[in-house]
């Protein structure tokens, strides 16, 4: 023991941690080491502190001198959590400290206020640990505990004789809700074993009653097991639905909402009830939109009925649309068309909730072409004064909704919307328009430009208007206008002279967008090569990179282009990373120095960059031999996708070398 205590003061952290672990294995016999372990709680090394905390817990009540330092640790961790999101290691340290306080038992009453505070933590595991430790510390009647223990032993003996589990169930429930840690632990294991037996009962009503009681016990695992069992009973457990609905409205410390919803789906509860529960899940992002669709369709619900139920739920309450709800409609695809009339009614209903309007417009946009029936009302909604936003008092909210309406029209892609989007750009340029009358009007214009770009070649009639905006005093507007022209593509060829002029703009973002747009609009316009070559000398790195990508698209393979691309490939934050790697892939067969850029990208910290660089080398073939060693190193990459593409690339190189 003395040797271990001395080792706790070693200069090497690994020795100190090992000593603490060894002391912990001795359990209550290591009482002599408590002062040394308490001192080591202030060790700078987290691993050492963790092992000391656990060792004190294994020593048990004799470690009562550690209560104050452990409480201080909890308070310090809580204060850090108020400023920063706690890391996994910090959460684990708090849980270990709470567990140790529980193992010390009634002697740790000083820690009760800190543990009560820990029950309010946002982290479920910390709350659960605090509840268990509070139960261990608080005193209870020894006589009552002894009596319950005797009844519990009798109940176990009764089940072992083959008698009905229902006779013993009340005793098991009392045991799991008791204060005795050993009794509760045993009852938990026994109840988890009993739940499957209830499913074998030929009287489902009796099984449902028993399982409903188990959803109220103090153990989370037993609650989850009983909820899953109710789901396995299917429609026979329909009378459990009110209790399950109640559970969806409680704190997630009581049960996992996704477990409850899955059980409700298997029971085939009314679709309206399960949709309301799913909305809560989506708001808390505990279940993905794709997971919702899969769960409900596999459970036999009609998809059109699901979509209508979502609309009805939205109409009945003022709730904030989480990101996942519009995504839900996108995943439903064509089936979601059933929801369009309800969404249109929301837009026509003089709605006063900005959140509901935003979610409705966002859902229609996510549906895409499926939502064509909503184009008429959306065209109305993009106007400066319209019935869609008339219910909103705040002018900033009205502008925000109009900008999202413009985006939705672009996503839907109906050419009937082109005049309305063009008018949203024209209104701002009227001579009698007061720019101060509608704040944030630029947001609508930017959204309209983005939407016009989504139409591609179909937006050719808007090109002259967009070109006229290139003289706007607002540089973000100029950048968005150029981006829209680039997305329209060769159909915007009449804008090429204006884009060449934009390469000399005072704003670097505008110049970068112009270089990119030139590459998109004039893929065969060799006459624009000289001006793009000038852009390779631009002081802004992003401008140089975009110009080099455009030149590569035009078939240029010069040294200065390769130098710019090779340098850009090393930077993970390059906004046009895929474009850079694609350009190197195009140039490499003609200029072997381009492979150096791919080799540099293979060393990136971002796995996507490594993946695309190796994939480019695979496609290049013989010209990528210089990258062979880097590709071989990638076979040990931590990303499976990178390892797979590396194996494919090496196989391609071997095929070339073998003459196959």
Most confident among 285-299, 472-486, 593-607 (mean pLDDT): 472-486
| C-alpha pair distances (Å), 76 with each of 40, 56, 73, 102, 114 | 16, 19, 5, 19, 11
Please compute the mean of the pLDDT values over residues 339-354 and round it to a whole number: 83
Kindly state whether residue 43 falls inside one of the protein's structural domains. yes
The rounded distance, in Å, linking the Cα atoms of 132 and 7 is 33
Please compute the mean of the pLDDT values over residues 167-188 and round it to a whole number: 65
Kindly state whether residue 80 falls inside one of the protein's structural domains. yes
Q: Token digits for 407?
A: 């985006």
The rounded distance, in Å, linking the Cα atoms of 281 and 245 is 12
Question: Does 202 score more than 70 pLDDT?
Answer: no
Least Cα distance to 503 among 474, 484, 530 occurs for 530
Note down the domain range covering 133: 2-137
Q: Which residues contact 299 (CB under 8 A, 6 or more apart)?
A: 265, 266, 268
Question: Does 181 score more than 80 pLDDT?
Answer: no
Kindly state whether residue 76 falls inside one of the protein's structural domains. yes
Query: What pLDDT digit, counting tens, does each position of 51-93 carry?
Result: 999 999 999 888 888 888 888 888 777 766 555 667 777 888 8
Question: Does 115 score more than 90 pLDDT?
Answer: no
Q: How would residue 148 be classed by pLDDT, with cut points 50, 70 and 90?
A: very low
Please compute the mean of the pLDDT values over residues 99-119 and round it to a whole number: 81
Query: What pLDDT digit, counting tens, does each position of 487-519 carry?
Result: 998 899 898 889 888 888 888 888 888 888 887
* 263 within 8 A of 244, measured Cβ to Cβ: yes
Q: Token digits for 283?
A: 């708001």
Kindly state whether residue 127 falls inside one of the protein's structural domains. yes
pLDDT at residue 512, as a whole number? 84
Residue 148: Cβ-neighbour burial (10 angstroms; 0-12, 13-18, 19+): buried
Please give the model's pTM, rounded to 2 decimal places. Answer: 0.52
Quick one: three-class SS letters along 623-640?
A: HHHHHHHHHHHHHHCCCH
Kindly state whether residue 68 falls inside one of the protein's structural domains. yes
Quick one: three-class SS letters along 572-633?
A: CCCCCHHHHHHHHHHHCCCCCCHHHHHHHHCCCCCHHHHHHHHHHHHHHHHHHHHHHHHHHH
* 62 within 8 A of 34, measured Cβ to Cβ: yes
The rounded distance, in Å, linking the Cα atoms of 322 and 336 is 18
Query: What pLDDT digit, counting tens, does each position of 413-444 carry?
Result: 999 999 999 998 875 544 444 444 444 568 88
The rounded distance, in Å, linking the Cα atoms of 46 and 88 is 12
Residue 497: Cβ-neighbour burial (10 angstroms; 0-12, 13-18, 19+): exposed
| Total number of domains in the chain | 1
Among all chains, which residue has been given the structure tokens 């010069």?
A: 558
Kindly state whether residue 8 falls inside one of the protein's structural domains. yes
Q: Tally helices (H) and strands (E) across the chain.
A: 37, 0
Question: Does 96 score more than 70 pLDDT?
Answer: yes
Kindly state whether residue 255 falls inside one of the protein's structural domains. no
Q: Token digits for 108?
A: 């740790």
Q: Token digits for 349?
A: 């209903």
* 631 within 8 A of 599, measured Cβ to Cβ: no
Kindly state whether residue 522 falls inside one of the protein's structural domains. no
Please compute the mean of the pLDDT values over residues 102-115 and round it to a whole number: 80
Q: Which residues contact 657 (CB under 8 A, 6 or more apart)?
A: none
pLDDT at residue 437, as a whole number? 46
Residue 412: Cβ-neighbour burial (10 angstroms; 0-12, 13-18, 19+): buried
Q: At what angle do helices 303-316 and 324-332 cross, to 10 degrees?
A: 150
Give φ, ψ of 58 to 5 degrees.
Answer: -75, -25
Among all chains, which residue has been given the structure tokens 């929801």?
A: 339
**Residue 65's domain is classified under what CATH number?**
1.25.10.10
Least Cα distance to 230 among 214, 218, 254 occurs for 214
Least Cα distance to 250 among 127, 350, 337, 344 occurs for 127
- Indicate the average pLDDT of the chain: 77
* 249 within 8 A of 257, measured Cβ to Cβ: no
Please compute the mean of the pLDDT values over residues 442-455 and round it to a whole number: 91
Among all chains, which residue has been given the structure tokens 């704040």?
A: 439
Residue 651: Cβ-neighbour burial (10 angstroms; 0-12, 13-18, 19+): exposed
Q: How would residue 266 be classed by pLDDT, with cut points 50, 70 and 90?
A: confident
DSSP state, residue 161: T
Q: How would residue 378 be classed by pLDDT, with cut points 50, 70 and 90?
A: very high
* 535 within 8 A of 511, measured Cβ to Cβ: yes
The rounded distance, in Å, linking the Cα atoms of 68 and 39 is 12
pLDDT at residue 171, as a whole number? 67
For the beta carbon of residue 629, count every other beta carbon within 10 angstroms: 11
pLDDT at residue 319, as a whole number? 43
Least Cα distance to 269 among 230, 229, 211 occurs for 230
Q: Which residues contact 158 (CB under 8 A, 6 or more apart)?
A: 167, 168
pLDDT at residue 178, as a whole number? 60
Q: How would residue 218 be classed by pLDDT, with cut points 50, 70 and 90?
A: confident
Question: Does 322 score more than 50 pLDDT?
Answer: no
């Amino acid at each position: 023991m003395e040797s271990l205590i001395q080792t706790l003061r070693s200069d090497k952290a690994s020795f100190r941690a090992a000593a603490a672990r060894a002391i912990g294995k001795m359990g209550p016999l290591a009482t002599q080491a408590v002062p040394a372990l308490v001192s080591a709680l202030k060790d700078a090394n987290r691993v050492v502190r963790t092992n000391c905390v656990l060792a004190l817990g294994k020593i048990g009540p004799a470690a009562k001198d550690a209560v104050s330092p452990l409480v201080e640790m909890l308070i310090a961790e809580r204060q850090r959590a108020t400023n920063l999101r706690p890391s996994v290691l910090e959460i684990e340290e708090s849980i270990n400290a709470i567990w140790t306080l529980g193992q010390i038992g009634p002697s740790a009453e000083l820690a009760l206020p800190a543990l009560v505070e820990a029950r309010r933590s946002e982290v479920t595991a910390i709350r659960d640990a605090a509840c268990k430790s509070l139960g261990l510390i608080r005193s209870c009647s020894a006589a009552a505990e002894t009596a319950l223990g005797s009844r519990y032993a009798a109940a176990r003996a009764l089940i072992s004789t083959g008698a009905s589990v229902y006779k013993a169930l009340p005793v098991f429930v009392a045991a799991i809700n008791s204060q005795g840690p050993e009794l509760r632990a045993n009852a938990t294991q026994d109840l988890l074993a009993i739940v499957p037996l209830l499913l074998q009962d030929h009287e489902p009503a009796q099984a449902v009653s028993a399982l409903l009681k188990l959803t109220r016990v103090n153990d989370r695992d037993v609650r989850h097991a009983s909820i899953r069992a109710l789901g396995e009973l299917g429609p026979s457990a329909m009378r459990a639905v009110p209790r399950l609905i109640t559970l969806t409205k409680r704190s997630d410390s009581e049960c996992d909402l996704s477990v409850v919803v899955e059980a409700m789906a298997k029971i085939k509860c009314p679709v309206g009830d399960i949709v309301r529960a799913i909305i809560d899940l989506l708001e808390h992002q505990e279940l993905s939109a794709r997971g919702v669709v899969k769960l409900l369709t596999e459970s036999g619900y009609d998809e059109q009925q699901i979509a209508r139920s979502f609309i009805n739920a939205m109409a009945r309450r003022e709730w904030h649309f989480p990101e996942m709800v519009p995504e839900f409609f996108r995943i439903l695809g064509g089936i979601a068309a059933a929801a369009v009339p309800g969404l249109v009614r929301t837009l026509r209903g003089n709605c006063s909730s900005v959140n509901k309007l935003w979610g409705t417009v966002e859902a229609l946009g996510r549906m895409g072409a499926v939502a064509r029936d909503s184009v008429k009302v959306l065209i109305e909604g993009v106007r400066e004064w319209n019935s869609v936003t008339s219910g909103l008092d705040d002018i900033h909210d009205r502008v925000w909704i109009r900008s999202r309406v413009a985006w939705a029209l672009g996503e839907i892609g109906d050419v009937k919307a082109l005049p309305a989007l063009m008018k949203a750009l024209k209104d701002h340029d009227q001579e009698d328009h007061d720019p101060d009358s509608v704040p944030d009007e630029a947001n609508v214009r930017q959204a309209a430009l983005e939407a016009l770009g989504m139409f591609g070649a179909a937006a050719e009639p808007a090109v002259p208007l967009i070109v006229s905006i290139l003289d706007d005093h607002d540089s973000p507007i100029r950048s968005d206008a150029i981006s829209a022209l680039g997305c329209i593509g060769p159909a915007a060829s009449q804008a090429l002279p204006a884009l060449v002029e934009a390469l000399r703009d005072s704003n670097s973002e505008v110049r970068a967008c112009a270089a990119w747009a030139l590459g998109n609009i004039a893929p065969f316009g060799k006459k624009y090569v000289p001006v793009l070559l000038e852009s390779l000398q631009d002081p802004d790195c992003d401008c140089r990179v975009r110009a080099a990508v455009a030149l590569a698209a035009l078939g240029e393979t010069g040294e200065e282009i390769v130098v710019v691309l090779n340098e850009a490939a090393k930077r993970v934050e390059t906004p046009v990373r895929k474009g850079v790697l694609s350009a190197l892939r195009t140039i490499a067969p003609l200029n072997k120095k381009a492979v150096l850029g791919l080799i540099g990208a293979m060393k990136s910290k971002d796995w996507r960059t490594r993946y695309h660089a190796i994939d480019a080398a695979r496609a290049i073939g013989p010209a990528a031999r210089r990258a062979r060693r880097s590709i071989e190193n990638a076979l040990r990459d931590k990303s499976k996708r990178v390892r797979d593409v590396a194996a494919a690339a090496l196989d391609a190189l071997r095929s070339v070398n073998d003459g196959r």
